[in-house]
């Protein structure tokens, strides 16, 4: 017996020595012990629920609920993927998917529209960026995870879903009956503006988008040749929620000769992944370039805008972008479930972080409609990454930065309130249409009356003049 005790003591000491060598320091062991103590707390709570709750509970549901809560405590983009959700995420949609055609996020437990994708059922129905989806088929969305809410909006093609929306400036909950469709997105749209300016709109970064842009630019340049030639390019990334990283690199490579497009910084700052400009493929390096962004331009859109801006290849115009600069990966727990986990942050070629900051335009131009600027100003109610609970901070705020931010946010709130009041007064004065009729009206995009596009054209017209003055 004594020999056995001695053996156990020696074995224990060996294990402690090996563990210390493996983890490196006593502090790591202390942290490990602390983690097990916290897990013991979870076990105690679980035991109390199982033994004293007034009715029998499903332990599996309790554990899944705890995991969901743990993931939600990280950031808005990390999530637990149960069997159903995980299976659907494994399917390769290749730019074709079923649903309503909206990009959504969650803020303080409320489902918020980032942007409706152009020409999709939601866009045609009149859903707008910043809308809060509070009901789906008359059932509240409060308390649902983002994945659960999205799942409720999916369904059989041609079937209808009733979406209850709260919108700034509109009283009560507006109900939208939207027919589900297989969404086939024509991501690239192109227009020749004022005979000599090539406008390319990209609504989403999906497979072969760079090929679509190259084809559109060639076609427009050919048309412009008969009218004096192309004099500038406008790349419109407004309300583009992002998509494939490879496409962001490929599209940036059309306009850049060489250098870094984007890099990622993970847990270990020394371990960086760098994506460079591709030197092959179609190139447009000589024509002056304007990139349009707004508060619903996110992720891949911000990567392209940041790369163009840092390389000095073009001017970024519009309003501050969304600020979604984090990288997610889907990790398998087993064959039927997994987690979507934030593992890194994107950085522009000059090392600027996009997360919760976004891309600031070189020339800020608010969105307005039509030729009557004063009476047609839009209220852009975009929810940005920085508004989301537990968003990842790209930097640690100093006291001075925090004070400046709070003053800026207060000014923005006051400005927004004034604009909402003005809009209400204008709507009241227009007796030819009711507010509801105006909200439901689906307007086809008209680039010739797009104020921001026209301002981009004005810049491109004067590009040669300014270039000469600088020289």
List Cβ neighbours of 445 (8 Å cut-off, separation of 6 or more). 118, 189, 201
pLDDT at 24: 52
324 is catalytic: yes
Across the strands, what pairs with 265?
272, 345
Give the pLDDT mean for 446-462: 91
Selected from 3.90.1200.10, 2.40.50.140, 3.30.2130.10, 2.30.42.10, the CATH number assigned to the domain covering 93-184 reads 2.30.42.10
Domain boundaries of the chain, sorted by first residue? 2-57, 93-184, 188-395+441-470
Greater pLDDT, 165 or 447: 165
| Beta strands 289-293 and 315-318, pairing class | parallel
Q: Has residue 433 got a pLDDT over 60?
A: no
List Cβ neighbours of 439 (8 Å cut-off, separation of 6 or more). 126, 167, 170, 174
**71, 67, 84, 65: which is closest to 152 by C-alpha?**
84
pLDDT at 3: 44
Q: What is the enclosing helix (H) or strand (E) of 58?
A: none
252 is catalytic: no
134 burial type by CB count under 10 A (0-12 exposed, 13-18 middle, 19+ buried): middle
pLDDT in tens, 322-351: 999 999 888 899 988 999 999 999 999 999
Q: Has residue 176 got a pLDDT over 50?
A: yes
CATH architecture, domain 188-395+441-470: Alpha-Beta Complex (3.90)
Give the pLDDT mean for 357-361: 96
434 is catalytic: no
**Catalytic member of 239, 252, 299, 326:** 299
pLDDT in tens, 37-49: 889 999 999 999 9
**Catalytic member of 132, 324, 340, 353:** 324
Q: Which two tokens stand for residue 450?
A: 């797009």
Across the strands, what pairs with 32?
none
Greater pLDDT, 30 or 318: 318
Q: Has residue 305 got a pLDDT over 80?
A: yes
CA distances (Å), origin 447, targets 80, 192, 201, 374: 42, 9, 10, 19
**302, 323, 401, 319: which is closest to 363 by C-alpha?**
319
- Phi, psi at residue 190, to the nearest 5°? -140, 150
Could you give the CA distance from residue 434 to residue 107 in angstroms, rounded to a whole number? Answer: 31
In 40-101, at which residue ranges do the beta strands (DSSP E only) sit?
79-81, 96-99
Across the strands, what pairs with 191?
199
pLDDT at 437: 44
Answer positive or negative: Cα dihedral of 250, 256, 257, 258. Answer: negative
pLDDT at 21: 47
**Catalytic member of 75, 236, 250, 310:** 310
Average pLDDT taken over every residue of the chain: 84
Q: Has residue 32 got a pLDDT over 70?
A: yes
Give the pLDDT mean for 15-43: 67
82-102: buried (b, 16+ CB within 10 Å) or exposed (e) per residue?
Answer: beebbeeeeeeeebeeebbbb
Could you give the CA distance from residue 118 to residue 278 in angstroms, rounded to a whole number? Answer: 29
**211, 235, 392: which is closest to 304 by C-alpha?**
235
Q: Has residue 11 got a pLDDT over 70?
A: no
Q: What is the enclosing helix (H) or strand (E) of 429?
A: helix 399-429
């Amino acid at each position: 017996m004594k020999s056995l005790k001695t053996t156990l003591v020696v074995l224990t000491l060996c294990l402690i020595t090996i563990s210390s060598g493996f983890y490196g320091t006593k502090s790591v062991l202390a942290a490990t012990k602390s983690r097990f103590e916290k897990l013991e707390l979870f076990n105690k709570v679980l035991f109390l629920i199982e033994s004293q709750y007034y009715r029998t509970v499903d332990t599996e549901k309790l554990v899944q609920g705890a995991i969901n809560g743990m993931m939600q405590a990280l950031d808005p983009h990390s999530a637990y993927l149960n069997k159903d959700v995980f299976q659907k995420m494994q399917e390769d949609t290749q730019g074709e998917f079923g649903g309503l055609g909206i990009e959504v996020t969650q803020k303080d437990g409320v489902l918020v529209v980032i942007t409706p994708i152009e020409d999709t059922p939601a866009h045609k129905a009149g859903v707008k960026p910043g809308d809060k989806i509070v009901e789906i088929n008359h059932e509240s969305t409060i308390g649902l995870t983002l994945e659960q809410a999205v799942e409720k909006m999916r369904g059989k093609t041609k079937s209808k879903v009733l979406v209850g929306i709260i919108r700034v400036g509109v009283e009560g909950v507006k109900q939208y009956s939207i027919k589900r469709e297989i969404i086939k997105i024509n991501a690239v749209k192109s227009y020749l503006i004022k005979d000599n300016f090539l406008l390319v709109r990209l609504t989403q970064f999906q497979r072969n988008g760079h090929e679509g842009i190259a084809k559109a630019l060639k076609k427009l340049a050919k048309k412009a040749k008969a009218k004096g030639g192309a004099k500038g390019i406008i790349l419109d990334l407004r309300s583009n929620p992002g998509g494939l990283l490879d496409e962001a690199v490929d599209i940036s490579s059309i306009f850049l000769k060489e250098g870094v497009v984007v890099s990622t910084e993970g847990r270990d700052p020394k371990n960086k992944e760098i994506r460079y400009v591709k030197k092959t493929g179609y190139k447009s390096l000589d024509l002056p370039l304007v990139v349009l962004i707004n508060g619903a331009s996110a992720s891949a859109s911000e990567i392209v805008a940041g790369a163009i801006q840092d390389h000095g290849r073009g001017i970024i115009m519009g309003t501050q972008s969304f600020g979604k600069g984090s990288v997610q990966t889907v990790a398998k727990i087993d064959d039927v479930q997994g987690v979507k986990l934030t593992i890194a942050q994107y950085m522009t070629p000059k090392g600027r972080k996009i997360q919760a900051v976004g891309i600031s335009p070189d020339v800020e131009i608010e969105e307005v409609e039509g030729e009557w600027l004063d009476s047609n100003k839009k209220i852009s109610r975009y929810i940005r990454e920085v508004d989301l609970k537990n968003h990842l901070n790209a930097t640690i705020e100093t006291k001075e930065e925090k004070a400046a931010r709070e003053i800026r946010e207060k000014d923005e709130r006051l400005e927004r309130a004034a604009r909402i009041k003005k809009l209400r007064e204008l709507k009241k004065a227009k007796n030819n249409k009711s507010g509801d009729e105006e909200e439901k009206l689906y307007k086809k995009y008209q680039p010739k009356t797009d104020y921001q596009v026209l301002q981009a054209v004005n810049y491109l017209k004067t590009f040669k003049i300014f270039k000469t003055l600088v020289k």
